[in-house]
Amino acid sequence: MTNQELLQRSLAAVWHPCTQMKQHESFPLIPISRGEGVWLYDCEGRRFLDAVSSWWVNLFGHNEPRIKAAISRQMDSLEHVMLAGFTHEPAVRLSEQLAELTGLGHAFYGSDGASATEIALKMSAHSWRNKGLPQKNRFVYLENSYHGETLGALSVTDVPIFRSAYAPLVRDNFCVMNPDWRQAREGETAQDVAERAASALAALLAEKHGEIAALILEPLVQGAAGMAMYDPLYLRRARSLCDQFGVHLIADEIAVGFGRTGTMFACEQAGIRPDLLCLSKGITGGYLPLAAVLCQDDIYRAFYHDETARGFLHSHSYTGNPLACAAALATLAIFKEDEVIARNREKALRFDAFFAGLAAHPRVKNWRRTGMIWAFDVTDATAGFAQRFFAAALAQGVLVRPIGETVYFMPPYVLNDDEAQQLAAGTLAALEQTR
């Protein structure tokens, strides 16, 4: 198909996600026909540097030969079997490896990030019920949090544009201050902000812990909030408050897991272990939809019983799909083989130097980085900035999709020095052209 044909037929047949479709009257869709490394190509051979890793899922570039080969090998033996009552090698091996990496166990699979959130929320509340504490069934979430867009996930998501229209369908939970260091007052450090946020959490838990099942948070970086970053101290405080008040800690590492923050998992930087851990996005290297929730043993044991109804009777048709598990195993193998975490550490420092011009730009404030995530806010962004910037960047051959006034890079880890310099130049040019 040509670009033009693809656009017309798509608008006629496809309902695109997270989109006011009418805006495509003035901002055309971008038709993509293939990908290679960090590049996406349209039908006429124009290419765009995928600086957002195709919505944060791609780790090692498009068309990665090892992941492709693993999926293809798996396809030759077993494409799918239900995981209720049956098992298979890719699910077993992946669960064992995830357990070894996280110190948690009994991986429960879903298909997308939001399904992981639903699973974690249900597991937490149901485990309290099984322990004779059914009144512990509400949740605490942070300001500007994002945990997905199904109804349960929306009940712990603080993004009005995603939530408001569905408010009557969504259960009320408790929202507390987040530790985003941009809230620092005169003379305050990031750690002071973390302490302030922890005090707010302490006050809520002290009063309401009897009805609270869990605190859910995005460790170190609140992605959809616009890459809000915070000090690991907050995670240590949250962990000890959850212990003190008998509340589960759910770490949503759907976006920040698999090396994004500079360690395999963000929680490692605080030296804490959550009670429940949600994983998705990068887990398959961006190849196939897969999510996993891992938990501490006491949660698993709360369900282990003669009575069927005390079990975790949750499922999705594609739970533990063998092709997706094979892609995830190949992804984990690449982390080892290519020493990804160590190499990213050096890469990020080199990229910092390439991005220095941007960081010093007079219209840039709150320049920040955690691991392989860079972000800045534009001082004078006006309404519609994100969309105009996106279009201006595309004209420069870079795919950067700002959130409000925040521009960020979350590139595939295979981005090389040359490409990082192109990204910096394209972003700078787009900034010059966009208010």
Ligand X SMILES: *Cc1c(COP(=O)(O)O)cnc(C)c1O
The contact pattern for ligand X, residues 264-283, with x = CB under 6 A and - = no contact, is: ----------------x---
Distance CA 433, CA 413 (A): 28
CB of 94 to ligand X, least distance (A): 18
**30, 37, 124, 125: which is closest to 419 by C-alpha?**
37
Nearer to ligand X, 150 or 433 (CB): 150
CB of 224 to ligand X, least distance (A): 6
Distance CA 292, CA 319 (A): 9
**223 lies in the binding site for ligand X (CB under 6 A):** yes
Among 68-76, 110-118, 207-215, 297-305, the segment contacting ligand X (CB under 6 A): 110-118
User: Among residues 148, 257, 262, 274, which is the contact residue for ligand X, using CB under 6 A?
Assistant: 148
Residues 301, 255, 253: CA angle, nearest 5 degrees: 25
The DSSP output letter for 431 is H
| 18, amino acid identity | C
CB of 220 to ligand X, least distance (A): 11
User: Among residues 67, 254, 276, 292, which is the contact residue for ligand X, using CB under 6 A?
Assistant: 254
The DSSP output letter for 71 is H
Among 72-80, 87-95, 145-153, 187-195, the segment contacting ligand X (CB under 6 A): 145-153
Nearer to ligand X, 165 or 360 (CB): 165
251, 87 Cβ separation under 8 angstroms: no
User: Among residues 70, 201, 227, 255, which is the contact residue for ligand X, using CB under 6 A?
Assistant: 255
Retrieve residue 2's tokens. 């040509």
Retrieve residue 417's tokens. 């020095």
296, 110 Cβ separation under 8 angstroms: no
Nearer to ligand X, 95 or 117 (CB): 117
| 274, amino acid identity | P
CB of 57 to ligand X, least distance (A): 8
**252 lies in the binding site for ligand X (CB under 6 A):** yes
3-state helix, strand, coil in the chain (%, to 5): 45, 15, 40
Q: What is the total count of residues that contact ligand X (CB under 6 A)?
A: 14
Among 181-189, 251-259, 373-381, 385-393, the segment contacting ligand X (CB under 6 A): 251-259
User: Among residues 50, 64, 180, 218, which is the contact residue for ligand X, using CB under 6 A?
Assistant: 218
Nearer to ligand X, 113 or 412 (CB): 113
**114 lies in the binding site for ligand X (CB under 6 A):** yes
**Cβ-closest residue to ligand X?**
113
| 127-154 core/surface letters (b: 16 or more CB in 10 A; e: else) | bbbbeeeeebbbbbbbbbbbbbbeebbb
Distance CA 326, CA 320 (A): 10
Q: What residue ranges bind ligand X (CB under 6 A)?
A: 112-114, 117, 146-148, 218, 223-224, 252, 254-255, 280
